[in-house]
């Protein structure tokens, strides 16, 4: 390995995680239970996403930011009108909203709170993503793909079997000039590095097959979010043996000028997920996929003086899929001033209950949080 190859290889190491022989045995076998995680990056304003439109406290707290034209669902709750493209999924019973999701003694720090969500631990000493506790690492397989981000997030940790990439084209370009010969070494440190290079080359071969495979005829929005979903769709329909994908939609830290910004984000979210659901249906895979959103926190109940909202706590999240049992789950937290925690909503559902649902009811795996957090029956 010459110096140029070594530098190229070391720049790719963060993309590989600790990948054990990734993709080596993949022959187009697709998992039966696939999860697409959608991170709403920055802290989504849940009150303007799933709206308690008949609650006088909501209207008093948000004289300028309140949503007046939401789409009524049930129990006096309405969906943001800019998510209207998802309304058919609600009517089909394929959309579930889980209300008041959060955790005790919430942090308003972006970095700390997203770490809590992605490790499923409020302690600061957990360095494993929650998915590494649910999905076993099998030889010759990969458990997850993070699209458009270098952070493995919920798939990170010492025993991670995931890859992170900007997109397959960039990944393939980065690996193009690596030496394709398999290397072996007796020195343990060098052996580890060479093993990762071998794995990256193997991953590149499989990604090349998938990237040049068939594309869905469904039109995806021409946005960063839409393009990421189109690439995930391509991986799924071409038989990637991967149970988890993660994409992000950025821009939810709406401290000022929130109305247009948040409506635009809702439009991106609704349009992208509608295209994804259409593509899965067209491929006959809608029953095999579950989509779930998450975000580091919601926003505060009261609007601020800049036409926005500040960091808060609990918020609703949605799940979509052909086997999702549609409806509203959990209890909408009270907006009454005396029921708030320092101006924030008090959570009614611990976020680990959503993870327990995926583990126990979707993947039929042991629930790591069984002693304290039970699954929610939305699947």
**Range in 14-18, 86-90, 174-178 the model is least confident about:** 14-18
pLDDT reading at 219 higher than 80: yes
Mean pLDDT of the region 164-181: 78
| Least-confidence region, from 17-31, 135-149, 293-307 | 17-31
Query: What is the structure's pLDDT at 184?
Result: 63
Residue 16 has pLDDT above 80, yes or no: no
Give every CB contact of residue 38 below 8 A, 6+ residues apart in sequence: 246, 247, 248, 249, 269, 273, 291, 292, 293, 294
pLDDT digits (tens, 9 = 90+) for 272-305: 999 999 999 999 999 999 999 999 999 999 999 9
Choice between 82 and 182, residue whose per-residue pLDDT is larger = 82
Domain boundaries, the chain: 3-362
Q: What is the pTM of this model?
A: 0.90
**Average per-residue pLDDT for the chain:** 88
Structure-block tokens of residue 306: 């800049």
pLDDT digits (tens, 9 = 90+) for 54-111: 999 999 999 999 999 999 999 999 999 999 999 999 999 999 999 999 999 999 999 9
Whether residue 142 contacts residue 29, with contact meaning beta carbons closer than 8 Å, is answered with no
Q: What is the pLDDT of residue 29?
A: 58
**Spatial separation of the C-alpha atoms in residues 101 and 328, rounded to whole Å:** 12
Higher pLDDT, 1 or 158: 158
* pLDDT over 70 percentage in the chain: 84
Six token digits for residue 11: 């720049």
pLDDT of 4 higher than 50: no
Second-level CATH architecture of 3-362: 3-Layer(aba) Sandwich (3.40)
Q: Return the higher-pLDDT residue of 30 and 91.
A: 91
pLDDT score recorded for residue 212: 84
Q: Measured between alpha carbons, how far is residue 48 from residues 8, 52, 97 in Å?
A: 45, 9, 14
Q: What pLDDT, on a 0 to 100 scale, did the predictor assign at position 161?
A: 74
How would you classify residue 180: left for phi > 0, otherwise alpha for psi between -120 and 50, otherwise beta? Answer: alpha
With cut-offs at 50, 70 and 90, classify the pLDDT of residue 131.
Answer: very high
């Amino acid at each position: 390995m010459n110096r140029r190859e070594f530098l190229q290889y070391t720049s790719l190491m963060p993309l590989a995680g600790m990948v054990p022989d990734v993709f080596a045995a993949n022959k187009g076998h697709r998992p039966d239970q696939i999860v697409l995680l959608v991170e709403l990056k920055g802290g989504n304003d849940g009150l303007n996403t799933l709206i308690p439109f008949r609650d006088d406290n909501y209207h008093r707290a948000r004289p300028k930011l309140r949503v007046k034209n939401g789409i009524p669902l049930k129990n006096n709750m309405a969906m943001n009108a800019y998510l209207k493209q998802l309304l058919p999924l609600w009517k089909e019973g394929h959309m579930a909203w889980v209300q008041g999701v959060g955790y005790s003694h919430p942090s308003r720090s972006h970095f700390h709170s997203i770490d809590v969500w992605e490790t499923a631990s409020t302690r600061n000493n957990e360095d494993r993503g929650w998915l590494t506790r649910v999905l076993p690492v099998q030889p010759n397989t990969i458990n997850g793909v993070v699209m458009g981000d270098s952070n493995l997030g919920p798939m990170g940790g010492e025993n991670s079997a995931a890859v992170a990439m900007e997109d397959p084209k960039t990944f393939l370009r980065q690996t193009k000039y690596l030496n394709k010969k398999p290397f072996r070494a007796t020195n343990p440190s060098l052996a580890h590095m060479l093993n990762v290079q071998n794995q990256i080359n193997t991953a590149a071969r499989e990604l090349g097959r998938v990237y040049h495979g068939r594309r869905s005829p469904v039109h995806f929005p021409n946005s960063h979010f839409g393009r990421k979903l189109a690439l995930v769709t391509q991986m799924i329909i071409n038989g990637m043996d991967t149970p988890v994908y993660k994409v992000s939609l950025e821009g939810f830290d709406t401290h000022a000028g929130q109305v247009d910004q948040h409506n635009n984000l809702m439009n991106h979210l609704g349009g992208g997920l509608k295209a994804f659901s259409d593509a899965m249906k067209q491929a006959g895979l809608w029953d095999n996929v579950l989509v779930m959103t998450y975000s580091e926190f919601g926003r505060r109940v009261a609007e601020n003086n800049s036409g926005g909202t500040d960091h808060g706590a609990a918020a609703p999240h949605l799940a979509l899929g052909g086997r999702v049992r549609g409806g509203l789950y959990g209890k909408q937290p009270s907006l009454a001033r005396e029921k708030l925690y320092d101006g924030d909503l008090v959570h009614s559902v611990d976020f680990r209950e959503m993870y327990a649902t995926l583990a126990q009811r979707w993947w039929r795996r042991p629930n790591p949080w069984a002693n304290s957090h039970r699954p929610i029956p939305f699947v």
